[in-house]
Structure 1
Amino acid sequence: MLDDAPLSDADRRRVPVLAGTSHAVFVTDGDPVRLRFFTSAGELPACGHGTLAALALLAHQSGGDVDVTLTAGRRTFAGRAVRTGSLVAAEFDPGPVTLRGPGTAEYRAVRDALGAAPGTIADGAVVASSGRPRLLGPLATRAAVAALAPDLDRLRAACDDHGLLGCYVHSAPDDDGRVAARMFAPSIGVPEDVANANSTACLAAHLARFGRARVTADLGDALGRPATVTATVRPDGAVRVGGTAAVAGPLLL
């Protein structure tokens, strides 16, 4: 994550490559604070874990808690960050989530590209969007999620053909609402995401229809960079998504 600067968009696309990250978020101070998100493939209108990182930076810079208005893409929304020692707990409003059943062709194309072991695919796949659609694909167990080794070229073609951002694969929630999850998004230059807050918010909105108001997703284990994202659906249907971060310090590129 960088304070925004007079960089070209080509420069911004190079930053995540040089930093060894999936995304980079560029922050311009103001009211509202402006966020721009880039992968190596180009600019995104939204990035959940990038938003959480930006909130952590804002709290770090202020030396205290922050309640702030943010703008990204075409949305203006609220974010909050609370400092506890060296850690910052942040949450934000990802906006309304739309849900629909997947078409037969798009579901089969994505499912087959994932290469899940026979008998591990569960019912209940859904296409969810908090700005861009992605397939939420349930598997029976955490072990099945961990064992996935998708054909990324085939998955990219399937997502491109059906206008999907990617596929967020998750295990069945346990009694506490905890899942293992992985997000594959080769269409935007991210073979696998270390964390994905917006997709976790989408999953929470989906599961709330079945009486589950809170989801905790464990991601990043397959990449050796474990992360946890939480999402809560309020009684009025609004979703809040959050996580805890630490600001590691400046990175020289």
Structure 2
Amino acid sequence: MRIVRACLRDGRGGSPTAVLDDDGAFTDAERRAVPGRAGTSHAVFIGAGNVLRFFTSAGELPACGHGTVAALAVLAGQGREVTLRAGGRTFAGWVEADGELYRAAFDPGPVSLRAPSAEEAGPVLAALGVGEPAGAPCVASVGRERLLVPVAGRAVLAGLAPDQERLRAACDAIGMLGCYVYTIPEPGGRAAARMFAPSIGVPEDIANANSTACLAARLGREVAVDMGDALGEPATVVASARRVGGLAKTLS
């Protein structure tokens, strides 16, 4: 097992992710146990043909962006462009060494966007304690839906203290994995975000690349999004229409 910090900011922080080679001998119960044993929120298993499977303690995920970045750091010896398979699709990943770090990105696939109903958005916003969003929320998916919610600025974002039980119940009721709350990007494309996902056993994600890819699709522009500050683990994810990723560092 290797621990990779994915989506670092200026070489610091990032989301610790367990990465394991998988020859098929693990049971899914054993895979779910890995994050707790490793002290990480997620684990990614790399099988034959670069088939990726992602797990939290709550179960398997169809996709995991920072887990894919972590896997690419481990697969870096295969070349700059790597073919990956996960969630029933085949897609490209790119990785190159930058000193002791790796610059990794991948094609997140098509993003679906739609407006939420009042019945969907209302309970989630109430559990978040957002008050009035800074724009219209949006339901986005690259495999599983999540709610994107804009807020007025970094101070508002930092002050959020969601009711995790209510948020989980609200998300479970509509089949969403969680809520990605973000600031309106600055003129240079910089923004900040927090991803709350108690429905998958992760009250708050340090870095969430797939949700950032959803945001880039929603805004129709490239964005660099700072995450993890509320958890003391600064992270940054960069996303455009066809690529999402960040810096990664293998610790063991």
TM-score by length of 1: 0.89
Which residue of 2 is the match for residue 57 of structure 1? 74
Letter in 1 for 2:234: P
Letter in 1 for 2:229: D
2:30 is aligned with 1:11: yes
CA deviation vs aligned residue, 1:38-59 (integer Å, no higher than 9, x gap): 0000111110000000001111
Q: Find the partner of 2:43 among 24, 28, 34.
A: 24
SS at match of 1:25: strand
2:242 is aligned with 1:220: no
Q: Find the partner of 2:247 among 244, 247, 251.
A: 244
Letter in 2 for 1:226: P
Letter in 2 for 1:40: S
2:99 is aligned with 1:96: no
Q: What stretches of structure 2 of length at least 5 have no aligned partner?
A: 1-18
2:210 is aligned with 1:198: yes
Q: Find the partner of 1:138 among 132, 150, 153.
A: 150
Q: Find the partner of 2:178 among 141, 166, 173.
A: 166
Indicate conservation of the 8 Å contact 1:37/1:47, yes or no.
Answer: yes
Query: CA-atom RMSD, angstroms?
Result: 1.1
Using the alignment, how far apart are the partners of 1:222 and 1:20 within structure 2? 18
Q: Which runs of 4+ in 1 moved over 3 A?
A: none
Higher relative contact order (CA 8 A, sep 6+): 2
Q: Find the partner of 2:239 among 231, 242, 253.
A: 231
Indicate conservation of the 8 Å contact 1:135/1:168, yes or no.
Answer: yes
Letter in 2 for 1:177: G
Using the alignment, how far apart are the partners of 1:55 and 1:21 within structure 2? 18
Which residue of 2 is the match for residue 236 of structure 1? none
SS at match of 1:49: helix
Shift of 1:65: 4.1
Letter in 1 for 2:88: R
Using the alignment, how far apart are the partners of 1:190 and 1:105 within structure 2? 24
Letter in 1 for 2:73: A
Q: What stretches of structure 1 of length at least 5 have no aligned partner?
A: 234-238
Aligned length: 233
Q: Find the partner of 1:81 among 80, 95, 114.
A: 95
Identity percentage of aligned residues? 62
